[in-house]
Structure 1
Amino acid sequence: MSEQTPVEETFISHLIELRNRLVKASIGIVVMCGLLMAWPGPSRIYDIIAQPMINSLPVGSKMIATGVISPFLVPMKVTLMIAFILALPWVLYQAWAFIAPGLYTHEKRLVAPLVISSSLLFAAGVAFCYFFVFGRVFSFISEFSPQSIAVTPDIENYLDFVMSMCLAFGCTFEVPVVVVVLVRMGIVSVAKLKDVRPYVVVGAFVIAAIVTPPDVVSQFSLAIPMWILFELGLLIAPVFVKATQAPPEETV
C-alpha cells in the first residue's frame, strides 16, 4: 500500500476539517430550531410572520391552506428559516475558523469584523423587510384590489413571497461588506467606485425591480437602502484597508 504524500495528507486533513466545521454549523442550526420549536413554537412563529398580511386583510379574514399537510409543513419551514438566521453568527464563525489558520495576523483582523458585520447586516435587512416593507407593500396592494375580489392568500405562496423578499433584503444589506472586500483585495479602488456611482444607483433600481413585486413602494424600499449602504461601504472601506495592512515584518 503506497504511502500518502505530504500534499495528499494536507488535502485530506483540510477535507476532514471542512466536514467537522459543516457538522458543527449544522448542529448549531438544529439546536436553534429545537429551541424555537419548544418556544414559542412553529404555529406561533408563523402567526407572527403572517401578521403584516393579516393586518392588511378585512377584519376577520384569514389565510388559507390548499395542501393537505401545508398547515404543518409551512410553519416548520418558517421555523427552520428563523433558526438559520439566528444561527448565522455561529455558521459564519465556523467558516472563519476553517480559513483562519491560513491567514496572517493582519488578515484575521479583517475577517472577524466581517463575520460580525455580515451577520448583523443580514439580520438588519430581514428586520427592515418585516417591520417596514411588508406592511406598506400589503397595504398598497389592498388599496388597489377591487371590491369584487375576496383576498384569501395561500400560506405556501405567502411563505415563498416572504422568504424571497427576506433573502433579497438580507443580501442587499451586505453591500458594505462586498465593497470593503473588493477594495481590500485590490480588485477595485474607492476612487473607481465613486466614479461608477451613477451606474450603481441605476443598477440598484434595476435589481429592486427584478427581485421585488411590481409596485413602487417595495422597489424604492430596496433600491434606496442599497444605494445608502453602498455609500456607507465607500466610507468604511478606507478604514478597513488601513487597519488590516500588513506590517513590515509580514510583508513578503
Structure 2
Amino acid sequence: MAAEHPDEPRLLDHLIELRARLLRAVAGLGLALLALLPFGNTLYAWLSAPLLAKLPAGGQLIAVEVASPFFAPLKLAFFTALVISMPWLLYQAWAFVAPGLYQREKRLALPLLASAVALFYAGCAFAFYLVLPAVFGFLARVAPEGVAIMTDINAYLDFVLVIFLAFGASFELPVAMVIAALLGWVTPAQLREARGYAVVGIFVLAAIITPPDVISQLMLAIPMCLLYEVGILAAVWLGRPAADGSAS
C-alpha cells in the first residue's frame, strides 16, 4: 500500500481555501452587479453627459443594433460593478496569499494594494472629468461642415471604457516602479538616469492610446511624468528600511 504523500493534505487545504476565496469574490461582484442593474440606464445617461454637453442643441446618441439599448447599459453596469468591487476582489486575493508572506512583505503589500486601487480610481476620475470633455470638444470642433455627430451607444461605451482603462492603468506607474525596485530589477539611481528615456516613452505611449489631438496627449503625458517622479521618491523611501535593516 503506497504511503500518502505529506504534501497532499496541505495542497488540498490550499485548493479549498482558493475555492472559498474565489466564491466570495464572485459573490461580491454578483451582489454589486445585481444592485446596479436597475440603474443601468441612469449610469449610461451619466456616462454620456460629457459627449452630449459638446454636441449642438438636439444632439443625441443612437442605437444602430436592435439590442443595443439593452446590452449597452448592462455592459456598463458590469464594468461599474467590477470597479466598485475591486477592493473586495483584491482583499480576497490578499487573504489567500498573505499567510505565505514574510512580515515585511505584508507591511509593504497592503499599502501597495491600497495605492494601486486609489490610483486606478484617480485615473478614471481624471479621464471622466477632464480628459473626455476636452476630447469631445476637440472632435466636435473638427467635424466637417454639414456632418452631424450621432455616435452609436455601443461604440461610445467601448471608446470611453478604453479611455478609462488606459488612464487607470497609466496612473499605476508609481506602483509598478516601486515593485520593480523592491524586486531588485532597478534602483532609484537607475530610474533617475533613465528619466529622459522615460519621458520620451511616456509621450509616445500617450500618442498611441489617446485620440489624435494634442490636448488629450498632454493630459495623459504630463500626469504620467509627475507620477514617474513620485515613483522614484516612493522607491527611495520604501527601499531605505531594507537597506538600513541589512546594514544593522
TM-score, with structure 2 as normaliser:
0.94
Question: Relative to 1, partners in 2 of residues 1:36 and 1:243: Cα closer, same or farther, differing over 3 Å?
Answer: farther
Q: Deviations over 1:198-239 (max 9, x none)?
A: 111111111111111111111111111111111101111222
Q: CA deviation at 1:187?
A: 1.1
CA distance, structure 2, for counterparts of residue 140 and residue 48 of structure 1? 20
Q: Which amino acid aligns with 2:9?
A: E
Aligned pairs for 1:33-112 (under 5 A) are 33-38=33-38, 41-112=39-110
CA distance, structure 1, for counterparts of residue 225 and residue 8 of structure 2? 46
Partner of 2:186: 188
Contact kept, 8 Å, 1:106 with 1:244, in 2: the verdict is no
Q: CA deviation at 1:141?
A: 1.0
Q: Which amino acid aligns with 2:92?
A: Q
Q: CA deviation at 1:9?
A: 3.4
Contact kept, 8 Å, 1:107 with 1:244, in 2: the verdict is no
CA distance, structure 1, for counterparts of residue 36 and residue 244 of structure 2? 43
Within the candidate set 173, 176, 179, 1:175 is matched to: 173
Question: Relative to 1, partners in 2 of residues 1:50 and 1:96: Cα closer, same or farther, differing over 3 Å?
Answer: same
Within the candidate set 191, 200, 206, 2:198 is matched to: 200
CA distance, structure 2, for counterparts of residue 212 and residue 3 of structure 1? 61
Partner of 2:127: 129
CA distance, structure 2, for counterparts of residue 14 and residue 194 of structure 1? 42
Q: Which amino acid aligns with 2:197?
A: Y
Within the candidate set 107, 117, 120, 1:119 is matched to: 117
TM-score, with structure 1 as normaliser:
0.92
Partner of 1:32: 32
Partner of 2:141: 143
Contact kept, 8 Å, 1:180 with 1:236, in 2: the verdict is yes
Question: Relative to 1, partners in 2 of residues 1:201 and 1:35: Cα closer, same or farther, differing over 3 Å?
Answer: same
- Is the counterpart of residue 228 in structure 1 residue 220 in structure 2? no
Post-superposition, which runs of at least 4 consecutive aligned residues in structure 1 deviate over 4 A?
1-4, 243-248
CA distance, structure 2, for counterparts of residue 2 and residue 53 of structure 1? 69
Q: CA deviation at 1:4?
A: 4.2
Q: Which amino acid aligns with 1:12?
A: L
CA distance, structure 2, for counterparts of residue 244 and residue 6 of structure 1? 35
Partner of 2:10: 10
Partner of 1:213: 211
CA distance, structure 1, for counterparts of residue 123 and residue 113 of structure 2? 16
Report how many residues are paired. Answer: 247
Structure 1 unmatched ranges of 5 or more = none
Q: CA deviation at 1:18?
A: 2.2
Percentage identity across aligned positions?
44
Q: Which amino acid aligns with 1:131?
A: Y
Q: Which amino acid aligns with 1:221?
A: M
Contact kept, 8 Å, 1:175 with 1:229, in 2: the verdict is yes
Structure 2 unmatched ranges of 5 or more = none
